[in-house]
């Protein structure tokens, strides 16, 4: 009997995760079929379409084109639209990823229609309920039938909340992607040449999280840190649309030495991550990719869900404090962490484990 999986995605990190699972689904023949729904949460060409092409994901069967507005407005419109798709497609599973508004909309719509939800990346916790992502992941876990965790810590978090049924540590599907794509990125991306960069002689930065971009004090402190770093070291900053919109003229002047780019395709980003001396970010996915590629990371947040990267010495949590950001980057550039043989994110076959549970569930 063929089972139909309706996959809900909407943002770059979800495209990356879905790529691994979609490949695994394609390998089990007619036992599983997948229908992909793109909510449109990331609508920019470089934030969306180019990722589908480079990650070898088939074009979504449904593109809802819902991208603007407040969190409540966006989630509400997605909820209405994905419910209509579910009623038409009648899936056996709804598969959601991560912690975005698209994740929550898919989870709620499916739960109300009594369609079982499988949540990839379940159990992650920052323990900061002011983060929209934390609200999304907690609520999504509460209505999921299959909680597919990336780490032992995530399983422990769910157990502390009294959730034990349907919980499995499958590993991190982003690790699967890193193993699959790293050589392809080196071979096919010419981003180092285009930007005039040398291997191991630049800092790669990203900044997009609402807690940093929407707070003028935090954003100002981060920009000042980038300015100071860029005086002595090349610093590359692919600008998220939200961040670009919130930069004023005075702020842009401080970034005059920074190499600013539009959002980059996946292969370009992976090539930069592998070649960077240090990565500075507020992205959960980039924190992990830095760890996968053995590059020190400095995280501009007050906490992280990916505690393993900190415990193993590859990630420093510094908030949005200028002095702490600059100091951590300087320290990381001067002395790389000791390479660890620990594999907290699984065996590189997380996507296969996800598919096995979908077939058995």
Domains of the chain in sequence order: 3-172+346-360 (3.40.50.2000), 183-334 (3.40.50.2000)
pLDDT at 1: 82
Q: What is the pLDDT of residue 245?
A: 82
Query: Per residue in 38-87, pLDDT tens?
Result: 998 765 555 556 667 788 887 899 999 898 788 899 999 999 999 999 99
Q: What is the mean pLDDT of residues 242-257?
A: 82
Pick the range with the lowest mean pLDDT from 108-122, 190-204, 212-226, 337-351.
337-351
* pLDDT higher than 70, residue 295: yes
Catalytic annotation, pick one of 38, 42, 119, 208: 208
pLDDT at residue number 342:
81
How far from the centroid of its chain's Cα atoms is residue 40's Cα?
16
Residue 174: what pLDDT?
96
N- to C-terminal Cα separation, the chain: 13
* Mean pLDDT confidence for 267-289: 96
* Buried residues in 349-359 as b, exposed as e (16+ CB within 10 A): bbbbbbbebbe
The pLDDT mean for the chain works out to: 93
1 or 168, which is more confident?
168
pLDDT at 45: 53
Question: How do residues 9-27 score in pLDDT, each as one tens digit?
Answer: 998 889 889 999 999 999 9
Mean pLDDT of 182-202: 97
55 versus 198: which is more confidently predicted? Answer: 198
In Å, the largest CA–CA distance within the chain is 62
Decide if 42 is catalytic.
no
With a pLDDT cut of 70, the percent of the chain lying above it is 97
User: Sorting pLDDT into bands at 50, 70 and 90, what band is 242?
Assistant: confident
Question: For residues 50 and 192, which has the higher predicted lDDT (pLDDT)?
Answer: 192
């Amino acid at each position: 009997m063929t089972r139909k999986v309706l996959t809900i995605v909407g943002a770059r990190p979800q495209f990356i995760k879905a790529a691994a699972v979609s490949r695994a689904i394609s390998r089990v023949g007619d036992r599983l079929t997948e229908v992909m729904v793109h909510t449109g949460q990331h609508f920019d060409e470089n934030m969306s379409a180019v990722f589908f092409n480079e990650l070898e994901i088939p074009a979504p069967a449904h593109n809802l084109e819902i991208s603007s507005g407040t969190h409540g407005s966006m989630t509400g419109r997605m909820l209405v639209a994905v419910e209509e798709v579910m009623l038409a497609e009648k899936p056996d599973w709804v598969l959601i990823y991560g912690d975005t508004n698209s994740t929550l909309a898919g989870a709620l719509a499916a739960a109300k229609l009594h369609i079982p939800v499988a949540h990839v990346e379940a159990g992650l916790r920052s323990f900061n309920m002011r983060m929209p992502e934390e609200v999304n992941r907690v609520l999504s876990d509460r209505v999921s039938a299959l909680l597919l965790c990336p780490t032992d810590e995530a399983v422990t978090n769910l157990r502390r909340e009294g959730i034990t049924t349907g919980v499995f540590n499958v590993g991190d599907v982003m690790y699967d992607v890193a193993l699959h794509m790293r050589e392809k990125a080196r071979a096919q991306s010419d981003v180092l040449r285009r930007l005039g960069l040398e291997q191991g002689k630049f800092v790669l930065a990203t900044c997009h999280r609402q807690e940093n971009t929407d707070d003028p004090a935090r954003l100002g402190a981060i920009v000042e840190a980038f300015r100071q770093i860029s005086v002595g070291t090349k610093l590359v900053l692919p600008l998220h649309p939200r961040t670009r919109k919130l930069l004023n003229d005075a702020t842009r002047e401080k970034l005059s030495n920074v190499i600013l780019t539009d959002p980059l395709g996946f292969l370009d980003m992976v090539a930069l991550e592998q070649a960077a001396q240090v990565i500075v970010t507020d992205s959960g996915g980039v924190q992990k990719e830095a760890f996968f590629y053995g590059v020190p990371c400095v995280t501009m947040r007050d906490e992280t869900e990916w505690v393993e990267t900190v415990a193993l010495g590859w990630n420093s949590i510094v908030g949005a404090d200028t002095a702490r950001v600059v100091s951590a980057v300087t320290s990381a550039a001067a002395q790389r962490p000791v390479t660890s043989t620990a594999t907290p994110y699984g065996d590189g076959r997380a996507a296969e484990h996800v598919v096995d549970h979908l077939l058995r569930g």
